């Protein structure tokens, strides 16, 4: 147990460091390229390959992790992220849409290799028959990751204002390279590696509950990104006239608070959480999130103080979304066999990346055509689908107390 805890802390530390750079590069790209004259839709297109290659990476990455070990896929992700950061340090004249898309593609591959590796490793380090303990471990990892991603948003906006675009990228790349070397030395080499070499076709799940959960995940994360990725930061900068640092700080605080709620989900759901087959709970929280999201565009359309509507609405949305995400992150591990967890998690996060891709593209398009309210109505449609699909999850209760 002591060795398992040490490995968990090493993986978590590496994941934290990577997440800081991931949040920072997202904010750097959105804000910097908007100032260069890119339209909201063009900014969204910069992330097209980031999300698309996330789909491919999760599909292939789970198989690679099962064959060669999760630590190797995690370190490969860190190395690729360093490369992606350095790619963007070239002169502005080189920063065409296609070039930035390619750099973001590398970053997308890196992010999903790292995330898949870290989350699949939790299953290896936990006690298999302790479902409450598994829920707690994955909630802490996921929640702390999202908190650090919020810090990354603030870091990216702050570094852009204080150091400039390129010096910010050099700082992030150098820091992540140091963390990568430390984790290479501390982490065992065989984490997550299957004894029998799996075939590539085994990455596609044959378990109905995993397929339904992956489908719900697609729409859940599409609903978040359809207004959060491009629409919201551009609205804050363009309509509310907030400076870069204020936009970054606001989004950072939201994601930090969201991460704290996600990490606290086991306590929030104590005495209600029903274990691996609690599909009813996933359905309930998806429905609550749908209702709250539908109220936001209505409130925006009928108020002269959109700032307060966004602040209060985002706070409620963040709490409900965090609990939804924590339930999903637990359920995928609970549904997975220990010896196939890398491939199952990879398949699941392939759907997650697909939802982000759809949400990102729609975020730029809907904002350009219909403004932030249009983005929010698109989010409502996605959440309705997530609610309906969650109804297909197993509903039999099994105690984890």
Tell me the C-alpha distance between 191 and 7, whole Å. 9
HSE toward the beta carbon, residue 90, CA cutoff 13 A: 11
Q: Where are the domains of the chain?
A: 2-188+208-390
- Flag the least confident range among 67-76, 115-124, 311-320: 115-124
Average confidence score pLDDT of the chain? 78
Give the pLDDT confidence score for residue 128 in this predicted structure.
47
Q: Report pLDDT digits (tens) over 44-65.
A: 778 778 878 877 777 776 666 6
* pLDDT digit string, tens, across residues 164-218: 889 999 999 999 999 889 888 876 665 544 444 555 455 555 677 788 888 899 9
For the record, the structure tokens of 6 come out as 């040490």
Six-digit token pair at 86? Answer: 């350095």
pLDDT for 253: 82
Supply the angle between the helices 306-335 and 279-301 in degrees, to the nearest 10. 160
The 8-class DSSP code of residue 278 comes to -
Q: Which of 57-66, 110-119, 307-316 has the lowest mean pLDDT?
A: 57-66
Q: How confident is the model at residue 401 (pLDDT cuts 50, 70, 90)?
A: very low
pLDDT band at 378 (very low <50, low <70, confident <90, very high): very high
DSSP string, 185-231: HHS-S-TT--SSPPPGGGGS---HHHHHHHHHHHHHHHHHHHHHTTH
pLDDT higher at 64 or 108:
108
Domain 2-188+208-390 falls in which CATH fold? Growth Hormone; Chain: A; (1.20.1250)
Residue recorded with tokens 């398992």: 4
Question: Could you give the percent of the chain with pLDDT greater than 90?
Answer: 17
């Amino acid at each position: 147990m002591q060795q398992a805890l040490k490995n968990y802390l090493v993986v978590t530390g590496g994941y934290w460091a990577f997440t800081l750079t991931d949040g920072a590069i997202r904010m750097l790209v959105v804000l910097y390229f908007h100032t260069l004259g890119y339209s909201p839709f063009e900014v969204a297109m910069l992330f097209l390959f980031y999300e698309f290659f996330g789909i491919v990476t999760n599909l292939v990455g789970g198989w690679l992790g099962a064959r060669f070990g999760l630590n190797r896929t995690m370190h490969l992700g860190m190395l690729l992220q360093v490369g992606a950061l350095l790619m963007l340090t070239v002169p502005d004249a080189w920063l065409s849409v296609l070039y930035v898309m390619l750099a973001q593609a590398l970053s997308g591959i890196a992010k999903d290799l790292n995330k898949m590796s870290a989350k699949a490793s939790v299953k290896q380090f936990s006690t298999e028959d302790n479902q409450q303990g598994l829920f707690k471990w994955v909630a802490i990892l996921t929640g702390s990751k999202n908190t650090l991603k919020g810090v990354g948003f603030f870091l990216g906006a702050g570094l852009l204002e204080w150091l400039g675009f390129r010096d910010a990228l050099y700082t992030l790349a150098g820091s992540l390279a140091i963390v990568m070397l430390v984790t290479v030395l501390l982490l065992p080499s065989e984490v997550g590696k299957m004894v029998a070499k799996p075939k590539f076709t085994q990455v596609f799940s044959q378990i109905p509950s995993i397929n339904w959960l992956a489908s719900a995940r697609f729409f859940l994360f599409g609903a978040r990104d359809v207004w959060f990725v491009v629409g919201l930061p551009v609205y804050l900068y363009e309509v509310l006239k907030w400076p870069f640092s204020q936009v970054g700080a606001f989004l950072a605080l939201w994601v930090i608070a969201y991460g704290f709620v996600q990490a606290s989900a086991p306590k929030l759901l104590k005495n209600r959480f029903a274990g691996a087959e609690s599909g009813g709970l996933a359905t309930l929280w998806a429905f609550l999130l749908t209702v709250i999201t539908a109220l936001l565009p209505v409130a925006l359309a009928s108020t002269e103080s959109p700032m307060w509507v966004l602040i209060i609405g985002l706070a409620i949305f963040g709490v409900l979304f965090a609990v939804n995400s924590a339930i999903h992150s637990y359920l995928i591990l609970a549904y997975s066999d220990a010896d196939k967890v890398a491939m199952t998690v990879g398949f699941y996060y392939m759907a997650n990346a697909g939802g982000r891709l759809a949400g990102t593209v729609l975020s730029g398009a809907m904002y350009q055509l219909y403004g932030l309210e249009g983005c929010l109505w698109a989010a409502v449609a996605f959440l309705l689908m997530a609610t309906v699909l969650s109804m297909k999850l197993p509903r039999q209760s099994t105690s984890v107390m």
